[in-house]
Structure 1
Amino acid sequence: MLEQAKQNMKHDLDVIDGEVRIALSSDLGRNVITPWLDAFMDSYPLVSLRSSISDSNIDFYRDSVDMALRYGSPTDANVYGFKICNAPRLLCATPEYLEANGTPKHPHDLPLHNGLLYQLHDVVHNVWRFSDDNTEHKIKMSSNRAANDGDLVRRWCVAGKGLAVKSCLDMSADLLSGSLVSVMPEFKPTPTELWLICPSRQSITPTVRLLRDSFREQTSQILRQLVEKGIVDESVLS
């Protein structure tokens, strides 16, 4: 009761302190979110950080985390979630890979290419789905590489080892620099969203709300840059 009273006082005063225990997916966590968390802690020196980086499903109690930044809206009615942004997936490759292997024009061309695949719980996700207006295309990919780590899939793609379907946030720096290009943009992979998820209402502290707002602001900046470059369309900002 005393601890809850202290928390209530902090909520009233909007005190930004304590330990942030956050679960992050591998690629987004390492390459996008960690620098943002470093800047957040520089601004709020009373905050400490415990970061859990993995692409595995999170169990809040087993993994001892207070929040998770994850792709996809929460399916558990017992958790509390805040949508951060839309995060369309893109089919990506290096210009060098496309020059050497040709640029696919239609999903039916994809089996002739090397897919860089994601693996979760020993299941290799080798069927890619694309939509064109009201038509869905399901394509089984050939591949010589699969990993249970999204960051490794991105690194293979940047190294020119094949094609990958990834969130535009994961690939944003490479897309904006021209290291990667979006392939067949008129055929859209299954879209997703980025959510900040908490296990209970009591876990939504002023620090959590401030991080939520920070994530929303900074992902919006990335998406606007991608829109300005013509990599994604403006509807992503809605």
Structure 2
Amino acid sequence: MLRFDDLQLFVRAAEHGSLSAAARLLDLSPAVASAALKRLEAQLGARLLARSTRSLRLTAEGEGFLAHARAALTSLDEGRRLLARERDEISGVLQLSAPSDFGRNVLLPWLDELQREHPLLNVRLLLGDRNADLFRQPVDIALRYGAPEDSSLVAVPLCPDNRRVVCASPDYLARHGEPRSVAQLTEHNCLLYRLGSGVHDHWRFYLDGREEDVLVSGDRFCDDADVIRRWAVAGAGIAYKSWLDVAADVRAGRLRVLLGHYRGEAAPLNLLCTHRAQLGKPVQLLGDLLKARCRTVLDEL
């Protein structure tokens, strides 16, 4: 098989009319250059360059082969550039699951942005609030609030400082008034979120190093976090939601944050996978994008 560096030496020698000049250009010793040319001629069974101590010229066979050698080098060089572009270009399938509210109302535009920048990337998104079984479901990664229940999973923090906030619509507050303390939440219709068999009706807050708990109640509960947010926006009651989920509604005036002097429960957003080998370039890009976007949203809290 012909060697790339032998072809390169032959072409450079023909262009410069000197084997020693070609050797200097390619950072080869004269002996190595001479051996390379002899090896190429032996493989082709033809003399390519007629050379003496003072001159070098192409033979007839060398003139005929030169065009093919140049074409081969050009083709190989283009192949190398193509491989480099493919390494830099993100493609393949990104399979992930995400919480219903965050996925539908926050994540979707960020995924659109990622695909606009990398049009060869395909996205398969599963939405739902139940913890995805990454060993059974057709997803590679999951975005989830809170610490992973399965300690065998790899967890990559995306927004570790995210917290829950109490919020309600201006319409609800105009009709029912605004709670001024954690205890006063028991006097309001609280929108309850159900995950699995448990209803999240035990709300926890922190103030000056103290923890305050309250058992709330209301006339509505749902296992879809997006429905809880929609009920809150519609004025049906008070919700205790991740800041990432409601920040856009607060900015737009659809919801107001209540009891702002309290710190709500931590709701860190993590990227979960079964093995670090799944943290390929598409996942790393998604993680970097989410960290940056979440940081911007969190700065508004």
Range into which the TM-score falls when normalised by the shorter chain: 0.7 to 0.9
**CA-CA distance at 1:115 after TM superposition:** 0.4
- Find the partner of 2:136 among 52, 62, 74: 62
In 1: Cα distance, 2:195 partner to 2:138 partner: 21
- Counterpart Cα distance in 2 of 1:14 and 1:203: 18
For residue 22 of structure 1, the aligned residue among 96, 100, 116 is 96
Q: Distance in 2 between matches of 1:13 and 1:44?
A: 13
- Large movers: runs of 4+ above 4 Å: none
Out of 67, 70, 73, the residue aligned to residue 147 of structure 2 is: 73
Look up the equivalent residue of 2:173 and give its one-letter code. Answer: L
In 1: Cα distance, 2:296 partner to 2:215 partner: 34
Percent pairwise identity: 37
Instruction: Report the equivalent of 1:13.
Output: 87
Name the stretch that deviates more: 136-145 or 165-174: 136-145
Match of 2:174 in 1: 99
Alignment of 1:103-118 (within 5 A): 103-118=178-193
Q: Helix, strand or coil: the match of 1:196?
A: strand
Is contact 1:60–1:199 with CA below 8 Å preserved after alignment? yes
Determine the structure 1 residue equivalent to 2:227.
Answer: 152
Is 2:204 the partner of 1:136? no
Greater Cα radius of gyration, structure 1 or 2 = 2
Secondary structure of the residue aligned to 1:144 is: coil
**Which structure is richer in relative contact order (CA contacts within 8 A, separation 6 or more)?**
1
Which residue of 124, 128, 134 corresponds with 1:50? 124
Contact 2:89 2:118 in 1 (8 A): no
Q: What is the distance in 1 between the residues matched to 2:273 and 2:255? A: 34
Structure 1 portions without partners, runs of 5+:
1-8, 227-231, 233-238
Which string of whole-angstrom CA distances, capped at 9 and with x for unpartnered residues, describes residues 63-85 of structure 1?
11101111113343322221111
Aligned to 1:199: 274
Match of 1:236 in 2: none
Is this contact kept in 2: 1:73–1:83, CA < 8 A? no
Which residue number corresponds to residue 297 of structure 2? 222
Measure the CA separation in 1 of the matches of 2:147 and 2:287: 15
| Structure with the largest fraction of helix | 2
Confirm or deny that 1:125 pairs with 2:187. Answer: no
Give the superposed CA RMSD: 1.7
What residue in structure 2 maps to residue 35 of structure 1? Answer: 109
Distance in 2 of aligned mates of 1:125 and 1:223: 23
Deviation at 1:172, TM superposition (A): 0.9
Alpha-carbon distance change, 62 to 13 in structure 1, aligned in 2, over 3 angstroms: same
Aligned-partner Cα distance in 1 for 2:107–2:91: 19
List gaps (5 residues or longer) in structure 2. 1-82
Tell me by how many angstroms 1:154 deviates.
Answer: 0.1
Residue 212 of structure 1, aligned match among 266, 282, 287: 287
Q: TM-score, normalised by structure 1?
A: 0.86
**What's 2:242 paired with?**
167
What do the CA deviations read for 1:68-122 (whole angstroms, capped 9, x no partner)? Answer: 1111133433222211112111000112211211111111111110000100113
> Which region of structure 1 is more displaced relative to structure 2, 19-28 or 125-134?
125-134
Distance in 1 (CA, whole Å) between partners of 2:211 and 2:295 is 28
Other structure's SS at 1:185 match: coil
Give 1:82's aligned amino acid. V
Give the structure with the larger strand fraction: 1
What TM-score do you get using the length of structure 2 for normalisation? 0.69
Aligned residue identity for 1:159: A
